[in-house]
């Protein structure tokens, strides 16, 4: 007879009685917390290690985690006829990861996270250029308003931070990853896509990491393991959230990352957000939510989940 955890059954029953959208929202909240914890770990590592090295180790650890799942069907499951797309996605993905890690290291945590929420705004532009999608004036207006929010945040800084531009570039790269995922998902299995991303991103990021390499301490390695766990946990929670609840109901809760990041940044690093940062972040979030609602209304029910 298996030992029971006191209160475990009642908690499971309580959770199962919550409506599907409520369960999805809770999963998304948990994923947002995991992502914010990952940001704290990246910021800690940034004091000792270069962003190139952090990105390489994050990519390598992620590749090691996904490898057993990718090889369950043997090497035959890794055959692909779109290797160039995998390479492009891997290069763009590691550029996005590197940029976001750099931004988290050099900006207040909440600022960096808020700037990465421009991804839906960039995705509108990329959908027109690469997917041939027709974008009407309402979404163009929302996109313009979102970038006004970016200007409010950036102009609030006493001295312009290059890291803000790097954060925006990272958001652009992550948006481009979504375009590649849409094309790859037509013919490729998820484990195949994750295998090639892990392989290519590890190789590409290893080249610059060699020139800035510092021997990681045992504490650094422990934080890297936690990063891998938090990153995998955040992705798992997002997948669970979208599989249980409706996308339009659960996706807005992804923005709680901004709240968690602001709270952890204040508690751990004594970072106090400025009024202009809060106003700019609200503008970005509001415009992104409007775009999300519009796309859901046009029948795009399942947003793509990209690597954290």
pLDDT tens-digit map of 100-131: 999 999 888 888 888 888 887 788 788 777 77
**Is residue 170 included in any domain, yes or no?**
yes
**Is residue 6 included in any domain, yes or no?**
no
pLDDT of residue 94: 92
CB-based contact 171:119 (threshold 8 Å) = yes
pLDDT of residue 116: 87
pLDDT of residue 295: 61
For the CA atoms of the chain, what is the radius of gyration? Answer: 20
**Is residue 303 included in any domain, yes or no?**
no
**Is residue 220 included in any domain, yes or no?**
yes
pLDDT of residue 98: 92
**Is residue 12 included in any domain, yes or no?**
no
Rounded Cα distance, 301 and 288, in Å: 15
Rounded Cα distance, 50 and 73, in Å: 37
DSSP H/E element including 37: helix 20-46
How many domains are contained in the chain?
1
**Is residue 50 included in any domain, yes or no?**
yes
pLDDT of residue 88: 92
Rounded Cα distance, 290 and 301, in Å: 14
Rounded Cα distance, 100 and 167, in Å: 5
**Of 137, 153, 152, 119, which Cα lies nearest the Cα of 304?**
119
Residues of the chain below pLDDT 70: 1-15, 133, 154-160, 247-248, 292-308
Query: Would you tell me the crossing angle of helices 51-70 and 218-244 to the nearest 10 degrees?
Result: 60
Domain region containing 65: 22-297
**Is residue 9 included in any domain, yes or no?**
no
**Is residue 283 included in any domain, yes or no?**
yes
Q: What is the largest CA-CA distance in the chain?
A: 64
């Amino acid at each position: 007879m298996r030992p029971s955890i006191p209160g475990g059954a009642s908690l499971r029953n309580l959770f199962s009685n919550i409506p599907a959208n409520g369960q999805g929202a809770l999963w998304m909240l948990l994923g947002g917390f995991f992502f914010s914890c990952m940001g704290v770990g990246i910021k800690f590592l940034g004091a000792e290690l270069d962003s190139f090295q952090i990105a390489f180790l994050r990519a390598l650890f992620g590749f090691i985690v996904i490898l057993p799942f990718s090889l369950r069907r043997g090497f035959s499951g890794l055959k692909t006829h779109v290797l160039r797309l995998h390479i492009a996605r891997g290069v763009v993905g590691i550029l996005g990861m590197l940029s976001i890690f750099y931004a988290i290291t050099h900006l207040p945590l909440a600022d960096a996270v808020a700037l990465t929420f421009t991804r839906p705004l960039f995705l509108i532009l990329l959908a027109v250029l690469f997917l041939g999608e027709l974008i009407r004036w309402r979404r163009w207006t929302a996109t313009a308003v979102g970038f006004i929010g970016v200007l409010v945040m950036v102009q609030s800084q006493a001295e312009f931070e290059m890291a803000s531009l790097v954060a925006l570039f990272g958001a652009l790269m992550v948006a481009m990853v979504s375009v590649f995922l849409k094309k790859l998902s037509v013919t490729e299995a998820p484990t195949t896509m994750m295998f090639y991303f892990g392989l290519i991103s590890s190789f590409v990021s290893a080249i610059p990491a060699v020139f800035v390499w510092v021997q990681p301490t045992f504490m650094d390695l422990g934080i890297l393991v936690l990063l891998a766990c938090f990153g995998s946990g955040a992705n798992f929670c997002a997948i669970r959230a979208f599989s249980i609840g409706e996308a339009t109901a659960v996706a807005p809760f992804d923005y709680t990352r901004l709240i968690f990041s602001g709270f952890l940044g204040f508690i751990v690093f004594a970072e106090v957000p400025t009024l202009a940062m809060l106003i700019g972040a609200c503008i970005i979030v509001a415009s992104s939510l409007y775009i999300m609602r519009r796309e859901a209304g046009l029948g795009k029910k399942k947003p793509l989940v990209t690597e954290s």
